[in-house]
Structure 1
């Protein structure tokens, strides 16, 4: 692979100055003419590290737009390498069938300058994540479309649109950003940084960003890394190079991708913890547009298969019987696709086996599952055993479902005390009060629950037997039966609290949503 020499034409490298280094060159390119030279670089404060921070995380950490360094003397030519065609305004999604992909099937020019991507990642499948690409050129859109069709990307949900950075900013002003944003921009100067700052202000903290630029420039690359961008790619590219870049972000062996695990448990039997788990998982996938795997851990009496009208031949029990055999291919066969973004690991729901496994067996299986999607919902049974305790305390978030009675209050208090003692650095469990307002039934006031547990309920669900009964008998979720009901709104609210994301509002027109016109 031919090496790329980024500084050959800069005019201030004569090859004889032993003190000139990359940092000195970068300062000169950025226009910091008064910056200390390499000889004096140890006298002043160190430059900030350009570690891979979450792109939107710097906004969340500072409570808004950060006080960023402004490089007004950034002497880059703002003219893109090729004339950028204006994005068509008459369609929302990119149609790759209208364009031919005209890119060479050769190594990427940027590999030598930015570090060659590990080829061993190219055969690894990308997890179940949402990817949204905003391209300036139709040729790039066609390339992204071809990459999305690759076998390694079959789990990911990819959307491709034209419009570049402005379209991405407009799109996500009032909706959550996906797990990965890929944005093309031909700009190179302060205008690019201004738009990136605006994009960062609307990005969720966990969103990663890949920029496709026009220039193979190491100074620009370093500045983008400092601002939280995960990767910078330059043409010419192939679909495989895009896939490798994504794999490098999510399949790092030293930091493997792992979705957030949320454990749902009832304070006592019959309080509706499974109903809460199933509906919340559905809202995360459908309302928040994020992939989720629902794991029914009530092996003998699980109802997830019934609630989603599924009867799979293979279940979670098969994985627990032989956890060493569970790989990505087998897991794909065991998971049942309930919706486009919700997968179910169903319980066997039979009484012919004891289903008694040690906690480490559950750990092995659940570790595999949480690498499949950004969210994993665990529907725990109302039993108490070593594996239930271990799974509950090992989850990222705990949701306890109660009814407004004394037994629920006592058991919930015990659960809270256990969780708080074992997880002092984590937030308290979230409480869902279910079946509130049953006629003629004495109930403990909600404020008493809040005082005893030290936190107000995250959700109070009214007693609506007709709505919940109809959904259960039809194998549907509450939002499918009555999307305007208080219960449906409540589950959407709980999903937002758990995920840290906001639901995408109903759009009158995709065109008006995209362009605000």
Structure 2
């Protein structure tokens, strides 16, 4: 760690999570940024490339980012005739002896509320302290990374005393009927019971959702009221829409009616999901098997994505396409988790698990065998697998998945594994 990094780390900067993310280089620790305007002036092409990648990151979805090739003088000239944004990021290769003098013309045209971050070339602690005394918000020694840029913005604009945002886990099937909803419901139940964590299960399949059936609930209101009346949405209204399924699990049920056409804009679910993040430590999203603007938006902004497949050719093709699409939508996040479900269905020709994994270039976190009796009994009684048969291997698998998607477990990959075994063996931390 360089001297300037150590000085910054041990200083009085407000957002500890952002600092941790810089040191670890981990974007996963960073919270989404608020609606602010940012203008970056870049000298090096490499810095411009980093800023462009930042603009594509889901944590900056609300940020209005503009990037200009230029130095401090270019920024001063531009803002002499235009209002300054919430944040100016300036790259400079000027030596420490002249930097403050170069900043003077910019200071004369900056709005009082505008914040400034400087990317410099020199690891100079006295310079850093002098810049802080003169109102500069941050000084970073280049070359910079995405984590450093985004966390520096978060340290300035994200309230360190605010409640942490909840974790969002989105489940979607590579094909209809592969059991994605069943897995989502069992995982939500497992998270709430295993960790005594307040969990909300949101059924986003408004016309055909089954969460109300699986939990033997018949609520009068649910997610439709939140989606179609966003102007009413607040914590009190959300509490009225939630149905209690167990001590720590609440359900935001789908109407499961065909009395209207369910057409949504891209951001239709955004106000609801933002409120859920502030309201519960974990939100499980049960998405229908559709590919539209709104599902792409939800998937791109979820903390974790889980894709469920059955072992046939159509699922393999769809899964490959989904992994490729999500890699473009989430370029700075880890790959989605992958579950192979309904393995070993009698008389059904199947692709062998190892042959299924190879073209995807990813191992599953679980392989769930076909068990019509266990799943059928659970579904028909409105109970989860762990309630129906707590000692079954499938119940243990759901427990392992719950640990993984909440960050409480790591995947331990064995050197060898049989076709019918779980390749993604999980071990609790």
Which residue of 1 is the match for residue 367 of structure 2? 460
What SS does structure 2 have at the residue aligned with 1:295?
A: strand
Aligned ranges 1:245-256 → 2 under 5 Å: 252=159
Which residue of 1 is the match for residue 402 of structure 2? 495
> Alpha-carbon deviation of 1:361?
2.1
Which residue of 2 is the match for residue 377 of structure 1? 284
**1:288–1:501: 8 Å Cα contact kept in structure 2?**
no
Which residue of 2 is the match for residue 97 of structure 1? none
**1:265–1:381: 8 Å Cα contact kept in structure 2?**
yes
Cα distance in structure 2, aligned partners of 1:308 and 1:336: 10
Structure showing greater radius of gyration is 1
Which residue of 2 is the match for residue 130 of structure 1? none
What SS does structure 1 have at the residue aligned with 2:268?
A: helix
Which residue of 1 is the match for residue 164 of structure 2? 257
Which residue of 2 is the match for residue 343 of structure 1? 250
Aligned ranges 1:143-162 → 2 under 5 Å: none
> Alpha-carbon deviation of 1:310?
0.8
TM-score (norm. length: structure 2): 0.59
> Alpha-carbon deviation of 1:48?
2.1
Deviations 1:123-156 (A, max 9, x none): xxxxxxxxxxxxxxxxxxxxxxxxxxxxxxxxxx
Change (3 A) 1:281 1:478: same
Change (3 A) 1:46 1:424: closer
Deviations 1:152-195 (A, max 9, x none): xxxxxxxxxxxxxxxxxxxxxxxxxxxxxxxxxxxxxxxxxxxx
Which residue of 2 is the match for residue 277 of structure 1? 184
Which residue of 2 is the match for residue 53 of structure 1? 16
> Alpha-carbon deviation of 1:449?
2.4
Deviations 1:348-383 (A, max 9, x none): 100001121212221111111221111111100112
Which residue of 2 is the match for residue 301 of structure 1? 208
Change (3 A) 1:386 1:374: same
What SS does structure 2 have at the residue aligned with 1:443?
A: coil
Cα distance in structure 2, aligned partners of 1:47 and 1:382: 45
> Alpha-carbon deviation of 1:47?
8.1
Cα distance in structure 1, aligned partners of 2:330 and 2:9: 36
Cα distance in structure 2, aligned partners of 1:256 and 1:354: 37
What SS does structure 1 have at the residue aligned with 2:368?
A: strand
Q: Does 1:402 align with 2:364?
A: no
Change (3 A) 1:417 1:254: farther
Deviations 1:20-45 (A, max 9, x none): xxxxxxxxxxxxxxxxxxxxxx9x97
Change (3 A) 1:441 1:46: closer
Change (3 A) 1:443 1:259: same
What SS does structure 1 have at the residue aligned with 2:221?
A: coil
Deviations 1:285-310 (A, max 9, x none): 10122221110000001000010111
- The total of aligned residue pairs comes to 271
Aligned ranges 1:115-264 → 2 under 5 Å: 252=159, 257-264=164-171
Change (3 A) 1:255 1:468: same
> Alpha-carbon deviation of 1:499?
0.5
Which residue of 1 is the match for residue 260 of structure 2? 353
> Alpha-carbon deviation of 1:419?
0.5
- Which of 347, 353, 357 does residue 440 from structure 1 map onto? 347
Cα distance in structure 2, aligned partners of 1:47 and 1:502: 28
Runs of 4+ in 1 over 3 A off after TM superposition: 44-47, 50-54, 251-257
**2:16–2:160: 8 Å Cα contact kept in structure 1?**
no
**2:171–2:181: 8 Å Cα contact kept in structure 1?**
yes
Cα distance in structure 1, aligned partners of 2:282 and 2:288: 19
What SS does structure 1 have at the residue aligned with 2:238?
A: helix
**1:449–1:456: 8 Å Cα contact kept in structure 2?**
no
Aligned ranges 1:22-41 → 2 under 5 Å: none
Change (3 A) 1:263 1:46: closer
What SS does structure 2 have at the residue aligned with 1:360?
A: coil
Q: Does 1:365 align with 2:327?
A: no
Q: Which has the higher strand share?
A: 2
List gaps (5 residues or longer) in structure 2: 26-157, 411-429
What SS does structure 2 have at the residue aligned with 1:378?
A: strand
Cα distance in structure 1, aligned partners of 2:205 and 2:160: 32
How much is the aligned-residue C-alpha RMSD, in angstroms? 2.7
**1:264–1:277: 8 Å Cα contact kept in structure 2?**
yes
Which residue of 1 is the match for residue 325 of structure 2? 418
What SS does structure 2 have at the residue aligned with 1:359?
A: coil
Cα distance in structure 2, aligned partners of 1:271 and 1:392: 18
